[in-house]
Structure 1
Amino acid sequence: MRIDPQDRRSTAGVVRALVVTAAIVVVVAGMRAAGGLLAPILLALILVVALSPVQSGLRRWLPGWAATGVLIIVLYGILAAGAASLVAAGIQLASIAPRYEDRVRDLVDEVQHWLQEQGLNPDDASQLVTRLDPSTLANIAQTVAGVVISLLTNLVFLITLLLFMAVETAGYPSRMARVDMVRPRLTRALRQFVHGTRRYLLVSTIFGLIVAIFDGIALWILGIPLATLWAVLAFVTNYIPNIGFVIGLAPPAVLALLEGGVGLMVVVIIVYSVINFVLQSIIQPKIVGDSVNLSVTVTFLSLIFWTFVLGGVGAVLAVPLTLLARALLVDASPGTRWADIFLSGSASVAGEARWSPNAPPRKGWWTRRRQKRRRR
């Protein structure tokens, strides 16, 4: 019996697709199982990529070892600030929790009474509001303590890893030059990843600071406790795409409910929505979108995927990690570059020219600005 060559090619394509799918499932399962080790490694990589210009800029005026030392100090300073913020947040939350126990009980009783008025069985209504009982605060505190202990354990590994990566940063340009002679597409894809990651983190940091300042001032005017803490939370959640605003809004909204009732909570939600929608949903995407060039759907799915694989670190680094995966799996290979059409934010001609073999490397707005100054 003779097999049609077209049927043979179709069967081979199906088998290849199944093998690739199985390989992806195995890799994702392995990454999730090793998430505790993988998360600090990727966090250290993104931090070094983002801050390595500090070292390269200082090397013009300082010896190499001094520039590396400054980079290490900056990296450790960021970690110290994050750890200090976490400890301060835990102390402040523990100090105000007891004063709201009576108010929480009253809210639980009001909700239970309202559910009974709607015709719900008293036993069912009691089960629905059980999680709002103040006795659950102890369980929450134990969970938070476990997270802090895990974070401190990873912090020791992260500090050591950052030291080694920072020391070797000075040798990366020469290594990339050698790789460029063998795999030019790979080096170009990695340069695009570095450029996009730096610009994304820079813009997110600037807008995060602006959002944090406005949110903190608004909460202080409204009399919400721990306004500074919630401003810091708004700054951190600005790095989480799509749903970071909701995460940063939830704690101050709940405190507003406990402090002044439903009316104050609605005011906090409206103020947060106006500030964050204007800055994060209108202005920020227009500035960062040209370099990141990821569609909204891909950004949201990347958030879900990296959170599933790496937890909280994956949520914060969802966009940079997606850019890294695209550089390694899509942009570096001619056979998979077609996937960039579906990953990008637009399918314009400019986007197609981005990956033309003869296209020059893309330049950010800061590079173009410096070139204009030099021509003057």
Structure 2
Amino acid sequence: MTEAELVHEPPGRAPLPRGLVILLGLSAAVITGAGIWAAAWLIGPVFLALVIVISVSPLQSWLLRHGTPRWLAVATLILAVYAILASLFLVIIVSVARLASVVPEYAERADELLGGVRDFLAQLGVDAEQVDSVANSVDLTKLADLLGSLLGTVGGILSNLVFLFSLLLFLSFETTSATARLRVIAADRPRIADALGEFVHGTRSYMVVSTVFGLMVAVLDTIALALLGIPLPVTWGLLSFITNYIPNVGFIIGVIPPALLGLLGGGPGLMLAVIAVYIVFNFVCQSLIQPRFVGNAVGLSSTIAFLALLFWAWLIGALGAILAIPLTLLAKALLVDVDPGARWADALLGVQRPPPRAERKAEKAERKAERAAAKAKAEPKPEAGPDSTQEPEPAEA
């Protein structure tokens, strides 16, 4: 069916002008964005639970392939997800508690540094009143009070954690029938099934790449910070691991706290040493090497990934920054991959669209058949035995 037949209008009914169609699309996007912003408190945790289950679900598939009972595979998946979240939450709580006790120890050193900065700015001719107002606004004791209030809100965090755990429980049970449901969808709407399959595959690939690089960078940062004498090296290693899921700028967010502690504890030299360590490890891995692997795995260029980070962080918040790539993959699957007329949008995404799953399977089967044919052709033919039939020689005249 040609494009003209797809957009054919009934007789007597003129098509909408293209400009009006664009305005209607933009209006729908604004209304949808406002709805997502209003329900960010619900969409963020729900999508986080979905991404976690998608990332860990291969464990369940592996157990089922090796003959494990279905109930035991589901229970193992749930326990694995719960163990990951509980460990991460426990480490965060302990790290924040230790940080709240360490920060006041550097208050006196911070005052000395601010005094030196005040004198330097005064020598440059900056108004003393303005310098004093800025210096008085910087108080580490206020930061300690902020951390204490953060620990006081653990009750509210626990309530959200219970909601997240309950949601993960239901989603883990649903994974057992996800494949069958995709088959039902593929029977009626194959493009939708392929788009959802590509979303799952891309999200899982992104999480694997980010987790591997995050663990590598976190271990290197923890060892380097411990050797430099920076307090709480494990805490900053955990921060590096979490910020590794933030595309392109996670390195900047992760380096600020240990660099400040290095400045307060050892002066500008130690701060520069911390920054140099993060440039070597985090910047090279997160900003130069990892985006290439992420782009090849999910089909998004580095520019699109950075713009997606800004958009989802503005729309959903901190959780949107961490889930920017999976959220973009879901939007791409629902708006681009399901529509054959939207293939032109792949050029804007910067990376060539990977072939659908059905096409990949067909190509794999074709290559396998070609290898089998080549192997059969290369095998030597069996020689004729003594008992084989031979053509009779022509009789002599």
Q: State TM-score, norm by structure 1.
A: 0.88
Matched, 1:22 2:53: no
Matched, 1:201 2:207: yes
| Aligned counterparts of 2:56 and 2:184: Cα–Cα separation in 1 | 23
Alignment partner, residue 67 of structure 1: 73
* Identity of matched residues, %: 44
| Aligned counterparts of 1:200 and 1:98: Cα–Cα separation in 2 | 39
Alignment partner, residue 54 of structure 1: 59
Identify if the C-alpha distance between structure 1 residues 325 and 338 changes in structure 2 by more than 3 Å, giving closer, same or farther. Answer: same
| Aligned counterparts of 1:179 and 1:282: Cα–Cα separation in 2 | 39
**Aligned residues of 1:188 and 1:361 also touching (Cα < 8 A):** no
Matched, 1:236 2:242: yes
**Aligned residues of 1:208 and 1:235 also touching (Cα < 8 A):** yes
Query: 165, 170, 176: which one pairs with 1:164?
Result: 170
| Aligned counterparts of 2:86 and 2:30: Cα–Cα separation in 1 | 36
AA paired with 1:202? V
After TM superposition, list the pairs within 5 Å mapping 1:1-376 onto structure 2. 12-60=17-65, 61-141=67-147, 144-145=150-151, 148-345=154-351, 351=352, 354=354, 359-360=359-360
| Aligned counterparts of 2:143 and 2:356: Cα–Cα separation in 1 | 57
More divergent stretch after superposition (194-203 vs 277-286)? 277-286
Uncovered stretches (5+) of structure 2, i.e. residues with no partner: 1-13, 376-397
| Aligned counterparts of 1:83 and 1:251: Cα–Cα separation in 2 | 20
Q: C-alpha offsets along residues 266-306 of structure 1, whole Å, 9 cap, x if unaligned?
A: 11101110112332234323333222121111101111111
Superposed displacement of residue 356, structure 1: 7.8
Q: C-alpha offsets along residues 62-113 of structure 1, whole Å, 9 cap, x if unaligned?
A: 1101000000001111110121011111111022122111111112222222
**Aligned residues of 1:331 and 1:340 also touching (Cα < 8 A):** no
Identify if the C-alpha distance between structure 1 residues 165 and 327 changes in structure 2 by more than 3 Å, giving closer, same or farther. Answer: same
Superposed displacement of residue 204, structure 1: 1.0
Identify if the C-alpha distance between structure 1 residues 30 and 123 changes in structure 2 by more than 3 Å, giving closer, same or farther. Answer: same
Superposed displacement of residue 145, structure 1: 3.9
Q: Highest CA radius of gyration, 1 or 2?
A: 2
Aligned with 1:257: secondary structure? helix
Q: C-alpha offsets along residues 203-228 of structure 1, whole Å, 9 cap, x if unaligned?
A: 11111111111111111111111111
AA paired with 1:20? G
Higher relative contact order (CA 8 A, sep 6+): 1
**Aligned residues of 1:192 and 1:327 also touching (Cα < 8 A):** yes
More divergent stretch after superposition (155-164 vs 336-345)? 336-345
Aligned with 1:294: secondary structure? coil
Aligned with 1:241: secondary structure? coil
| Aligned counterparts of 1:110 and 1:150: Cα–Cα separation in 2 | 41
| Aligned counterparts of 1:147 and 1:186: Cα–Cα separation in 2 | 42
Residues matched between the structures, number: 353
Identify if the C-alpha distance between structure 1 residues 248 and 138 changes in structure 2 by more than 3 Å, giving closer, same or farther. Answer: closer
| Aligned counterparts of 1:215 and 1:358: Cα–Cα separation in 2 | 42
Uncovered stretches (5+) of structure 1, i.e. residues with no partner: 1-7, 346-350
| Aligned counterparts of 2:308 and 2:150: Cα–Cα separation in 1 | 26
**Aligned residues of 1:105 and 1:134 also touching (Cα < 8 A):** no
| Aligned counterparts of 1:139 and 1:99: Cα–Cα separation in 2 | 13
**Aligned residues of 1:299 and 1:319 also touching (Cα < 8 A):** yes
